[in-house]
Amino acid sequence: MRKPLFKTSFTLASTLILALSISACGSQNSSENSGAAATVAPTASGQASDTPAAKAPVKISYLTFRVGTHASAKLEEEQIKQFNAKYGKEVEVVVEEIPSDSAYEDKLKILAVSGDVPDVVMGKNGINDILIKGNLVTPFNDYLDKDPEWKAAVGEAALAANTRDGKVWSISDQKQNIGYFYNKEMFEKAGIQPAQTWDEFMSNNEKLKAAGFVPLALMTGENAWTTNLILAALVGTNGEAGNTFMNTLHPTDFNTPEMIQALNMMKTMLEKYTTKDALGAGYANAANAFSQNKAAMIANGPWMIGDFSDPTKSSADFDKKVGVAAYPNNSLISTYEVGYMIGAKTPETRDAAEKFIRFKTGIEGQTIALEYGNVMPVSNEIQPSDALKQKYPLFVESIKLAQQTQVHYQSFDSIVYPNITDAWKSLYPKLVFGQSTAEEIAKELTKIAAKHK
Amino acid sequence: MVRKNKGYITLFLLPTVVLFIIVYAVSIVILFGTSFTEWSSGRKPVFIGLANYIQLFTDDSDFRKSFLNTGVWVLLQSTIHVAIGTVFAIILNMKEFYWKFARTVYMFPNIISGAAVGMLFLCMLNPDFGAVNSIVRLFGNADYAQNWFMDYTTAFFSVTMTWLPYAAVVTILILAEIAAIPESLFESARIDGASELKINFYIILPMLRNIIGTCVILAGTSMLQKMDIIMMTTGGGPGNETMNLPIYIYKTALMENNFGYSNSVGVFLIGFGLVFVLLCRNLFRIGSSQN
Amino acid sequence: MRILRKGLVVLKYAFVLLIILLSLGPFLWVLMASFKTNAEILNNSLGWPKSFRFSNYVMAFKIAPLSRFYINSVIVGIFGTLLNLLLLGMAGYVLARFQFRFKNLLMGAFSLSLLIPGAAMLQPLYLTVNTLGLYDKVVGLIIVYAGFGLPVSLYILSSYFLTIPKEMEESAYLDGASFIQTFFRIILPISKPGFGTAGVMQFLLCWNEFQFAIILTTGNQSRTLPLALYYFKSQFASDYGVMFAATMVVIIPSILVYILLQKQVVSGLAAGAVKG
């Protein structure tokens, strides 16, 4: 009885020693593509001595969550590939992949509070505020002044969106123009057109329901994305005050008539016009409800268009059934992403980081993003290629929509504090199960905003 | 003999002490120190005395709810959970035909990471296509769409059910302990004509005092760490219905950017856990040798 | 009396059956789903897949660097477990068997490690690991995980040591064995069940931990398998089939490892029975 254990433990031990030696060998060359900027220095100098003629490329660290199944994974890969082909000799981008957006945010916040920021940072969901406050990033003003071409490619509006006190803290890499997609077949059967007013929107819901369809693919889990887009439209189209609210960074008072009205309407939609699993559902649930012909509408941006012709995600020929529409009152969500920031600390890495960001946000980078990820460029100069237009006619429609609409406002995620974004998932069930009224939810949101430091 | 062994005792303890210092001691010091400060990312910690603690106890309903939930879960886990595991171990120890299969299968949900278990239950209990509602619909109620994780009436129960019945760790700990009971004890009892039930009750159970105490502590304190499953399923909602202290700590630090306050909750959690552990140690007289 | 006994037997089998169902059900459901298309999962969640689509698995391996993560997980799992068992076997033995001055203080400190919330340790531990130069090193993860398993292993092992009769060591000392010899030759072999259980717990901890794995590493050469799951949980991802396939890829090895290790625990159990 005892022998087998000893035998196995012996084998185990010898495998271990073997593995140890492998990993020890491995760690020497592994630091080459590892992201720990602080620990790679000795190896880097060692390499430099091998080829004294050429200057060793400057290493910069870059964290990205655009990996795996992320909608922008392909464009990220392509941008880095093309950057390496062009500038690989001068700059070496050490990429750290962080699967899932929330894990990315968590890690960056931990790094920020410890003062160790990667050289290139995406400042999404409040990370930019933390880094600016902590004096951990460098503004772009000098770099932009030196390169007017780049400045033009990014455009005044995008720059203005990320300027605080005259300093440009980040360069936006994309414009998000978000309306909603709808199932033409279902709309036809219900005898309706995309709504021009909110009354019509609600009566459309009723007609779709009467025709036997689920009108909306909503979800309140995660960041309540598809639900909050409609909520943003409800607030943003509600007069001057509502529109101003939805264009203000970090609103602190949610106890407004527009907000309360919108929450009440959303309550009705969640109760009557959506899938049974909308409360607590994640994006995947909502997306599948729409792409599998279970719901008639979903609010989301053009990056989703590729999924409609992907057979693993959508039913056959689904892309032919989909139309795109603006929200009632001829309006659209329109935001500039926060984009990239320079976290590098030394002059060399700062310049290298700037070079990488310039590539990503310049004409080349934006074109790649457009062609590989259906991402709306920030520059008006960039037009989709004919191939893209042919492949995704819906994308062309989305661009048209952006030009036709007159009222614009931002999404909640881009204006509120991160702890509000995190709170929706617990607030919506509270609202729908009648634990709190819309007024109480609005007050609670105000309270939550006050808690953010 | 004791004096002779002193060197060895130090030698045997030292590596663990070093490990403890690396992994925990620094954290405890930072945690404790900054719990008296106002500290957020991007700013230096500023000493504010007991202000965090005062706010915690006087003006924070989310904290109170989190504490209450944590307490209830600790209680359930250290009683019902341990009882399920113990009973199952005693049944398996009868070594009936299924015992090896059952023991292995029971461990499955414990082998899988918390995040994966959460994902799994999220899908199983999905109101629309989840297995549970689908089964209910098979039995006639075609419109059944209970939203297990979001409905106020079921959320707490549903979350609890993702870990309460899965006491395989308790089971294997107790099985190992039963195996260590000398066979001679059973035999003499059998000769005296005691039934299996009586043997279980009067011989086995008392011998398990130490290990059951250990299980109670391990199971109870595991609830002080529980986060991934809750995050994956309800995220603490609806409202703060399934919020617990670890999630509250996570939220105040990383979402509200209030590290000082978050750490004061952490210190409170440690204090609460200490009371629980001490209580259990006394209750089960852990540490005293059995014979 | 007879009815009561029969009732108990029925109750017993019902209990066992329920436990098996609760444990196996979710696992089988995901296994089924991992072969289905999105449409099938949504429309026919209980039934068999129409055809066994292995393409989900192929996709899973394509999307995440699963094989690299596998190797790391195996290394971290084995080393983390061995380190933890060795250190805590030694410490647990001393704490269970001997009286000395700072014993209670040490026990208290070690118990404390059971209580420190993980979320509150993220930042301090990052600082420590970075200062020690262990950031983004497999070794760093091994040490941290060995530490995470400290309280559980300590409790399991020392309570097992307590069940060993003192006479065993006393006779060894009489035979002239030294302290270290007694521990490694006498105590270790009869404590196999304890080590087996603690080892299983520790291995699973190493295998499943996610949060610290992502904070303490940067490159794929030091990352472990649980991170792979999150490659399928991006914000705008919606392919259930592939996600479930990836879940299976992560789960199945740990189940196999458990079944393999369990054999050791079983033979340990049998050996343990001899000692009385």
Rounded to an integer, the average pLDDT of A245-256 is 94
Look at residue B35 in the predicted model and tell me its pLDDT.
Answer: 94
Tokens representing B255 are 């979402």
Whether residue B238 has a cis bond before it, omega within 30° of 0: yes
Q: Report the alpha-carbon distance of residue C26 to residue B245 in Å, rounded.
A: 28
Most A CBs within 10 A among C56, C185, C230, C257, hence the mutation to make, goes to C230
| Domain range list for chain A | 58-175+336-393, 177-335+396-450
Domain interval for residue C189 = 63-274
Which residue is associated with the tokens 């951990």?
A136
Chain A neighbours (≥3 Cβ pairs under 8 A) are B, C
The per-residue pLDDT for A316 is 83
A113 CB near a chain B CB, below 8 Å? Answer: yes
Confidence of residue A347 (pLDDT cuts 50, 70, 90): very high
Nearest to B238 among A285, A418, A433 (CB): A433
- Per DSSP, A312 falls in state T
What is the distance between the alpha carbons of residues C68 and C80, in angstroms, rounded to a whole number?
Answer: 18
Residues C270, A1 contacting (CB under 8 angstroms): yes
Residue A99 to residue C231, Cβ atoms within 8 A: yes
How far the first Cα of chain A sits from its last, in Å, is: 62
Ramachandran angles phi, psi of A298, nearest 5°? -145, 135
Give the H/E segment covering residue A175.
Answer: strand A175-183
> What's chain B look like in SS3?
CHHHHHHHHHHHHHHHHHHHHHHHHHHHHHHHHHCCEECCCCCCCEECCCHHHHHHHHCCHHHHHHHHHHHHHHHHHHHHHHHHHHHHHHHHCCCCCCHHHHHHHHHHHHHCCHHHHHHHHHHHCCCCCCHHHHHHHHCCCCCCCCCCCCCCCCHHHHHHHCCCCCCHHHHHHHHHHHHCCCHHHHHHHHHCCCCHHHHHHHHHHHHCHHHHHHHHHHHHHHCCCCCHHHHHHCCCCCCCCCCCHHHHHHHHHHHCCCHHHHHHHHHHHHHHHHHHHHHHHHHCCCCCCCC
Q: Residue A315 above 90 pLDDT?
A: no
The mean pLDDT of chain C is 85
How far apart are alpha carbons A415 and C38 in whole angstroms? 34
Q: Do C38 and A15 touch (CB under 8 A)?
A: no
Q: Is the pLDDT of residue A10 over 60?
A: no
The pLDDT of B136-141, averaged and rounded, is: 86
CA angle (A290 as vertex; A288, A292 as ends), nearest 5: 60
A227, A218 contact by CB (below 8 A) = yes
For position B44, what pLDDT does the model report? 84
Q: Do C110 and B16 touch (CB under 8 A)?
A: yes
B interface test, pick of C9, C123, C174, C214 with most B CB neighbours within 10 Å: C123
Please report whether residue C48 resides in a domain. no
Residues 6+ apart with CB under 8 A from B82: B167, B170, B212, B215, B216, B219
Cα C184 to Cα A138, C152, C267, distances in angstroms: 59, 21, 19
Domain boundaries, chain B: 45-115+161-284
- B137 in contact with A at a CB cutoff of 8 Å? no
The residue of A29, A61, A97 whose CB has the most chain C CBs within 10 angstroms, and thus the best one to mutate to test that interface, is A97
Q: In sequence order, which residues have a C-beta less than 8 Å from that of residue A168 and are 6 or more positions away?
A: A139, A140, A141, A144, A159, A162
| B77, B163 Cβ separation under 8 angstroms | yes
Rounded to a whole number of angstroms, the distance from the CA of B238 to the nearest CA of chain A is 5
Lookup result for tokens 């769409």: B145
Report the distance separating Cα B212 and Cα B87, nearest Å. Answer: 11
| Residue A134 contacts B, CB cutoff 8 Å | yes
What subunits touch chain B, counting only 3 or more CB pairs under 8 A? A, C
Average pLDDT over residues C252-265: 76
Nearest CA in chain C to A292: C39
For B234-282, the three-class secondary structure string (H helix, E strand, C coil) is CCCCCCCCCCCHHHHHHHHHHHCCCHHHHHHHHHHHHHHHHHHHHHHHH
Q: How far is CA A111 from the centre of its chain?
A: 20
User: In A273-300, where does DSSP find H-type helix?
Assistant: 283-291
A277 and B129 in contact by Cβ < 8 A? Answer: yes
Of A20-24, A446-450, B40-44, B172-176, give the range with the top mean pLDDT.
A446-450
CB-based contact (8 Å) between B69 and chain A? Answer: no
* Nearest to B249, CA basis, from B232, B278, B233, B226: B226
- pLDDT value at position C258? 81
pLDDT at residue number B131: 85
Q: Mean pLDDT, to the nearest integer, of C15-30? A: 90
What tokens appear for A94 in the block? 């050490």
Average pLDDT in the A338-360 region? Answer: 93
The mean of the pLDDT values for chain B is 88
Note whether A453 contacts B258, CB cutoff 8 Å: yes
Q: Identify the CATH number of the domain in which residue C184 sits.
A: 1.10.3720.10
Average pLDDT over residues A106-123: 91
| A263/chain C closest Cα distance in angstroms | 24
- List Cβ neighbours of C112 (8 Å cut-off, separation of 6 or more): B24, B28, B270, B274
b/e per residue B178-214 (b: at least 16 CB within 10 A): bbbbeeeeeeebeeeebeeeebbeeebeebbbbbbbb
Is residue A411 within 8 A of residue A178, CB to CB? The reply is yes
Contact C26 B121 (CB under 8 A): yes
State the smallest CA–CA distance between residue A81 and chain B in angstroms.
33
Distance from CA of C49 to the nearest CA of B (A): 14
pLDDT at A45: 40
Q: What percent of chain C has pLDDT over 70?
A: 93
Question: For residue A95, what is the enclosing H or E element?
Answer: strand A91-97
CB-CB under 8 Å, A279 with B147: yes
Is residue B14 very low, low, confident or very high in pLDDT (cuts 50, 70, 90)? Answer: very high
Give chain C positions within 8 Å (CB) of B23. Answer: 113, 125, 128, 143-144, 147-148, 150
Q: Which stretch of A95-109, B193-207, C72-86, C130-144 has the lowest confidence by average pLDDT?
A: B193-207
**Whole-prediction pTM:** 0.88
Q: How far apart are CA C61 and CA C249, in angstroms?
A: 9
- Residues C34-84 have pLDDT tens digits of 898 887 877 777 778 887 778 888 888 888 888 888 889 889 999 999 999
**Which residues have CB under 8 Å from A331's CB, separation 6+?**
A233, A236, A237, A405, A406, A407, A408, A409
Q: Is the pLDDT of residue A351 over 60?
A: yes
Residues A8, C126: C-beta atoms closer than 8 Å: no
- Confidence check: pLDDT of C264 > 80: no
Q: With contacts defined as CB-CB under 8 Å, which chain A residues touch B152?
A: 429, 433, 435
Pick from C231, C238, C264: CB nearest A284: C238
The pLDDT, as a whole number, for residue C41 is 79
The answer to whether C246 touches C228, Cβ cutoff 8 Å, is yes
Pairing state between β A175-183 and A322-325: antiparallel
Residue C54 lies in a domain: no
Identity of the residue in A280, A281, A452 whose CB atom sits nearest the CB atom of B257: A452
Q: Does B128 touch chain A (CB under 8 A)?
A: yes
**Mean pLDDT score of chain A:** 86
Distance separating alpha carbons of residues A428 and B229, to the nearest angstrom: 20
Residue type, B116: A
* Residue B152 burial (C-beta neighbours within 10 Å; 0-12, 13-18, 19+): middle
Strands A295-300 and A407-409: unpaired
- With an 8 Å Cβ cutoff, is A277 touching chain B? yes
Q: Which residues fall within 8 angstroms of residue B248, CB to CB, at 6 or more apart?
A: B62, B63, B66, B236, B265
Nearest to C123 among A5, A96, A114 (CB): A114
C39 found inside a domain? no
pLDDT at residue A1 tops 80: no
On whether any CB of chain C is under 8 Å from the CB of A316, the answer is: no
- Least Cα distance to C162 among B278, B177, B281, B11 occurs for B177
pLDDT at C271: 47
Residue C227 lies in a domain: yes
Residue C259 has pLDDT above 90, yes or no: no
Residues linked to residue A97 through DSSP beta bridges, in sequence order: A64
Q: Which residues of A touch B127 (CB under 8 A)?
A: 276-277, 279
Count of pairs with CB atoms under 8 A, one residue in B, one in C: 286
Per CB-CB distance under 8 Å, the chain B contacts of C80 are none
- Tell me, yes or no, if B146 comes closer than 8 A to chain A by beta carbon: no
Q: Spell out the residues 6+ positions from residue C3 whose beta carbon is closer than 8 angstroms to its own.
A: none
Q: Which residues, numbered 41 to 100 in chain A, qualify as contacts with chain C under a Cβ-Cβ cut-off of 8 Å?
A: 61, 65-71, 73, 94, 96-100
**Pick from B176, B211, B278, B8: nearest CA to C93:** B8
CA neighbor of C88 nearest in space, from B23, A401, B188: B23
In angstroms, the CA B120 to CA B114 distance is 10
Residue for token pair 């190493």: C206
CATH class of the domain comprising A58-175+336-393: alpha beta
pLDDT number for residue B112: 80
* CB contact (8 A) between residue B227 and residue C119: yes
pLDDT at B1: 46
Contact A75, A375 (CB under 8 A): yes
- Signed CA dihedral, B93, B96, B100, B102: sign only: negative
Chains in contact with C, where contact means 3 or more Cβ–Cβ distances below 8 Å, are: A, B
Instruction: Give me the residues paired with residue A342 across strands.
Output: A120, A138
Residues of C in contact with A312 (CB under 8 A): 37-38, 59, 239, 241-242
Cα–Cα distances in angstroms (integers) from residue A54 to residues A28, A57, A86, A90, in the given order = 22, 9, 16, 10
Distances B127 to A89, B143, B228, C68 between C-alpha atoms, Å: 54, 10, 21, 37
Q: How many CA atoms lie within 13 A of A134 on its CB side?
A: 28
Provide mean pLDDT across the span C262-275. 52
Instruction: Give me C2's structure tokens.
Output: 């007879």
Task: Report pLDDT for B263.
Answer: 93
Task: Give SS3 for C258.
Answer: helix
The whole-angstrom distance between A428's CA and the closest CA on chain C is 19
Chain segment A37-74, per-residue pLDDT in tens: 333 333 334 444 444 446 789 999 999 999 888 888 89
| Number of domains chain C contains | 1
Report the residue of chain C nearest B7, measured CA to CA.
Answer: C179
Give me the CATH topology for the region A177-335+396-450: D-Maltodextrin-Binding Protein; domain 2 (3.40.190)
Token representation of residue A79: 């941008």
Query: Would you call C119 and B173 a contact, using CB atoms and an 8 Å cutoff?
Result: no
Q: Do A68 and C126 touch (CB under 8 A)?
A: no
Q: How confident is the model at residue A194 (pLDDT cuts 50, 70, 90)?
A: very high
Interface check for A130 against chain B (CB to CB < 8 A): the answer is yes
Q: Is residue A445's pLDDT more than 90? A: yes
Q: What is the pLDDT of residue B42?
A: 75
Q: What is the pLDDT of residues B185-229, one digit of tens each?
A: 778 888 888 787 788 888 888 888 888 998 999 999 999 989 888
Q: Is A191 left (phi over 0), alpha (psi -120 to 50) or beta?
A: left
Q: Do C223 and C217 form a contact (C-beta atoms < 8 A)?
A: yes
Give me the amino acid identity at B140.
G
The DSSP code for C197 is H
Closest to B249 (Cα-Cα) out of B60, B6, B44, B51: B60
Which chain A residue's Cα is nearest to C37? A312
Residue of B2, B4, B6, B9 to mutate, testing the C interface (most C Cβ within 10 Å of its Cβ): B9
* CB-closest option in C218, C227, C271 to A2: C271
Query: If you count DSSP H runs as helices and E runs as strands, how many of each does chain A have, helices first?
Result: 22, 12
Residue A6 confidence (pLDDT):
39
pLDDT-based confidence at A5, cuts 50/70/90?
very low
Task: Compute the distance between CA of residue C144 and CA of residue C213 in angstroms, rounded to an integer.
Answer: 10
pLDDT at A12 over 80: no
Q: Which of residues 122-181 of C touch A (CB under 8 A)?
A: 122-123, 126-127, 130, 133, 135-138
Topology of domain B45-115+161-284, CATH: MetI-like fold (1.10.3720)
For residue C19, give how far its alpha carbon lies from the nearest alpha carbon of chain B (Å): 7
DSSP, res A315? -
φ and ψ of A47, to 5 deg: -65, -40
Distance CA C210, CA A106 (A): 12
